Structure 1
């Protein structure tokens, strides 16, 4: 277990925090967030200049190196003020850097990773479907049919965040029929250029992460060349699995960062707001609220960095990734709700930030896997029968 950061990681953490405080304090993050459907290109470009897109990419492919612990440090510090806008970095890192590093050919890595590290290309994930949600594979209807020189893809995807601004979609599709009734069809993972003929996209109005538009993606006889196959044909979900664990750990790190921001705002307000002749931080109930948020922060920190350390060490981490995802999402949402309560009427004002964090965090209890399904998976890991 990693109980504390070493000197190099502390220095990296401090440098990221300095960059965030200088360039994207909470007030600027709020302004960006208000621009619904207006992708924050300046944030993407600023992150590129700072080298953040290169984090987690091997140096031989133009990256800065670093493992899951390093990216967890980065995710936490970004989310402390940016909240859901941190996915400007996070989604391409997960859908591009992690997927390519794990499943890409040498040629694909050399073609895409240096450009991603430099901030020249973006990725979005296209996996979820309208009728699927948690039942991802069982309800998948998008089909990739093998043709001469590539694939023809038809279907629809949902909740592809950043898809309209992406260069490539990391797309999972059925690529064959089950051999026997009740068997899930094999799937294939493809890197689909977003300018391919036959692709149409539509923004989905939503509660949080407003400037990070999430899309419905419609695919009508889209041709994808063989060179865009990621991993092995008919083994798409297996290729995706390593990325899915990483996504859950990074979701936990982002939730932890937002919890940091909530605690900072709550303490600052409690020290300055006066009622009944004294600052509200002198009232016992406010102190308890802040103490509970601090307790959640420490629990989340220990779990996030334990799971990240396991992933970085090559140890099994599926169970831990699910645990992190469940615990951090629930603790952070509860902390955001308390933050709103501490601020009282100002808690629902767009001038303050707990409400923004709450809106960005609430989806963490649903995605990338619902907490209910994560609990099912955890129960099965103890030898209990499958419940669904």
Structure 2
């Protein structure tokens, strides 16, 4: 069974690798990430100029084409330098091209996908609620009521990354309170972000600082009927395939972080001297990089397998959960070892190890906690639901 990269994917990886080295070096990524109060529009513009917003969008809608594996190749290469800031590309790729591209109407695709592909439209995801966290369905308090020509949405979302600069919000809300099960009666809205009834407030956080994560407060915010995605009250069934894509994409970002960690660790170990020799001769540190390299290969194999299954139309829910779990823990552990290898410089803001650690720590929590991922894997093996 061969689920490796094709010649086309390999060629694209080389192009993306050279582009990252030239256009978004790690030194610039450190500067961008440190500026907590300013969204990096210059980075977004570079993605636009390179045509990356169009990856995964069919050419008939103004995109570059490309399958899931192509998206993962790009995600990995971007994260190698940018770390969590690569999610600036990933958010709109998921919220826009993947969501509208999969379950949007033909009219919605023709209206929005060209603007997404050309970088004219930024999107943000507004699913998580303050009272819910991982218990997304049980904690859902945001509601939408019908009105003339559309819906009025009220509620509050949290950790909506880049919402403060977004043109559209992908909002999940309850539209039927009389359902038997929590996953029923939900509707997905493609809401204009900059409108009356929407208040967006940035939050301070540990990593991915300049990207910005926000609370979104909605009070009778209007969404037209034409901006409902999928069938009203059936959103959860529609969302499941795209959630698999998101988890595989997280795996690709984490893999890119491991790439960056290993690059920096090896470079430092070949130059830094202590006790009369380069520290790359020290057995303990050699074991650390051996562990990092092994975690990288393990993550790569699992991610490519999950992406291959999705690309070929196979069920991949279990594999997407597994790759999210393994990749996030491997990336965070690799970054932690990277800090240990660099010692005091690993803790310094002058290097990237601390940035890789801070950014990868989030992926053990979101978009779903690794504890909940393990619950799902265990349930798939025939064990009773634990929550």
CA contact (8 A) 2:179 2:185 kept: no
2:195 equivalent in structure 1: 196
| Worse overlay, 281-290 or 170-179 | 170-179
Cα separation, partners in 2 of 1:159 and 1:305, compared to 1, 3 Å: same
Match of 1:239 in 2: 238
Deviations 1:223-254 (CA, angstroms, capped at 9, x unpaired): 11101100000011222212111000000000
2:184–2:236 contact (8 Å) kept in structure 1: no
Structure 1 gap ranges (5+):
none
Kindly report which structure 2 residues correspond to 1:158-173, keeping only aligned pairs within 5 A, or say none: 158-173=158-173
- Residues 284-328 of structure 1 deviation map (CA, whole Å, 9 limit, x = unaligned): 000000000000000010011110111111000000000000000
Alignment of 1:275-290 (within 5 A): 275-290=274-289
Aligned partner of 1:300 in structure 2 is 299
Map 1:58-207 → 2, pairs under 5 A: 58-180=58-180, 183-207=182-206
Cα distance change on mapping 1:309 and 1:145 into 2, 3 Å: same
Normalised TM-score (structure 2): 0.98
Cα distance change, pair 183–366 in 1 and its aligned pair in 2 (3 A): closer
Q: C-alpha distance in 2, partners of 1:362/1:145? A: 37
Cα distance, 1:102 vs. partner? Answer: 1.1
Q: Deviations over 1:87-131 (max 9, x none)?
A: 110000001100001110000000000110000001100000001
Q: 1:3 to 1:225 in 2, by over 3 A?
A: closer
Residues of 2 paired with 1:351 and 1:104: CA distance?
Answer: 44
Which sections of structure 2, spanning at least 5 residues, go unmatched? none
Q: Distance in 1 between matches of 2:274 and 2:186?
A: 60
Q: Which residue of 1 aligns with 2:334?
A: 335
Question: Structure 2: how far apart are the matches of 1:301 and 1:2?
Answer: 14
Displacement of 1:185:
4.8
Correspondence for 1:319: 318
Q: What is the aligned partner in structure 2 of residue 30 from structure 1? A: 30
User: Does the aligned pair in 1 maintain the 2:137–2:182 contact within 8 Å?
Assistant: no
| Alignment coverage as a number of residue pairs | 387
Q: Call closer, same or farther: CA 1:2–1:159 in 2, change over 3 Å.
A: farther
Distance 1:179-1:21 versus aligned 2 partners, 3 A rule: closer
Q: Match for residue 15 of structure 1?
A: 15
8 Å CA contact retained: 1:2, 1:309:
no
- TM-score (normalizing by structure 1): 0.98
Write the distance in 1 (CA, Å) between the matches of 2:356 and 2:4.
26
Deviation at 1:2, TM superposition (A): 4.2
What is aligned with 1:344?
343
CA contact (8 A) 1:2 1:305 kept: no
Q: How far did residue 3 of structure 1 move?
A: 4.2
Question: What secondary structure sits across from 2:18 in the alignment?
Answer: helix
SS in 2 for 1:203: strand
Query: Compared with structure 1, are the counterparts of its residues 353 and 53 closer, same or farther at alpha carbon in structure 2 (3 Å cutoff)?
Result: same
The aligned counterpart of 2:229 is 230
* CA distance, structure 1, for counterparts of residue 252 and residue 2 of structure 2: 14
Retained in 2: the 8 A contact 1:178–1:184? no
Please name the residue that 2:381 is paired with.
382
Conserved in 1, the CA contact under 8 Å of 2:62 and 2:117?
A: yes
| Distance (whole Å) between structure 1 residues aligned to residue 352 and residue 102 of structure 2 | 37
Maintained 8 Å contact 1:132/1:140? yes
Cα distance in 1 between the residues matched to 2:368 and 2:159: 13
Which residue of structure 1 aligns with residue 55 of structure 2?
Answer: 55
In 2: Cα distance, 1:64 partner to 1:183 partner: 38
